Amino acid sequence: MVNPTHRDTQSLTSSGIPRPAGPRPEVRTFAKSYRLSQSLPMPATPKQQFPGRPGDWVLYKDNQLIAFNKPAGLAVVPDKKGSPNLLQIGAAYAHHDLYPIHRLDRPVSGVVLFGKKASAQAKVSEQFQERTISKTYLAIVGERPKEDEATLVHFIREAKGNSSEVVDSSDKTAKRAELSYRYLGSSDRYHLLEIQLLTGRKHQIRAQLGAIGSPLRGDEKYGFKRGNTDKTIDLHAFTLAFDHPISGSRVELQAPLPDEPVWQAFSEIIAQLPAGA
């Protein structure tokens, strides 16, 4: 769904989750780009088949920006192993240099936005820093949280094995991590949460849900009892709203759910969410 509006950016929040007062969150931004003229090796042939073709993943495009619904299991940027990645695949599809604005973990699906120009990247990245971006996630967990709606505050530090861990607030290497969640419903053994990140830490949602005993389905690294066979986890970047870097109009993007049965079991619940949720 693409729905440009002119609403006040300060009033737009995740459905049912008010925008908190207090310090603005720190957000990781990325200066690297992928230029079609670069002599980087093309990514290796994927061992797993991603659904559809790159053109099927496009949520939005114009001469400034392009957004994709990233399949779970696909990296966003190139790595040392030469893994398939959305940056190179997207640049080849668009026939255009692309500039990453934000990232999703490889096992996660959902909205990923790129600039087609460095100026567009800079302007939208600034909105992340100024907290005028609205971004919501959907998460499937095996254990329902004790509270149906809450704001979680933990202190997180990066750990070995490409992970993060929740530690005591006295740890000088730790950074404050905050998110809000809301319980949406249950299906069979699993429960659906809507999440709004209020800070931007590595693996933040994964670590914080694990810390309260509600790890993401498939996320063995943070406490789920078994991994998904395709090594994905059930976390989906569902919506992203931002001001267009040229027109200033509000652009709202919504990424369709993954086509797996566990996600489709929640489709009726998700269809009832308000537009822009």
As annotated, the active-site residues are: 105
Answer for the pair 198, 205: CB distance below 8 angstroms, yes or no: no
* 215 Cβ contact partners less than 8 Å away, ≥ 6 residues apart: 141, 142, 143, 206, 209, 222, 223, 224
* Four-point Cα dihedral 94, 100, 101, 104, nearest 10: 100
φ/ψ of residue 55, rounded to 5: -65, -30
98: Cα within 13 Å, side-chain hemisphere:
26
Dihedral sign of CA atoms 260, 253, 206, 152 in order: negative
Q: What is the DSSP letter of 218?
A: B
Helices (H), 60-214: 86-94, 118-130, 204-211
β-pairing, 235-243 vs 109-115, is parallel
Asked whether 64 and 120 are in contact (CB, 8 A), the reply is: yes
CA distance 219 to 206: 8
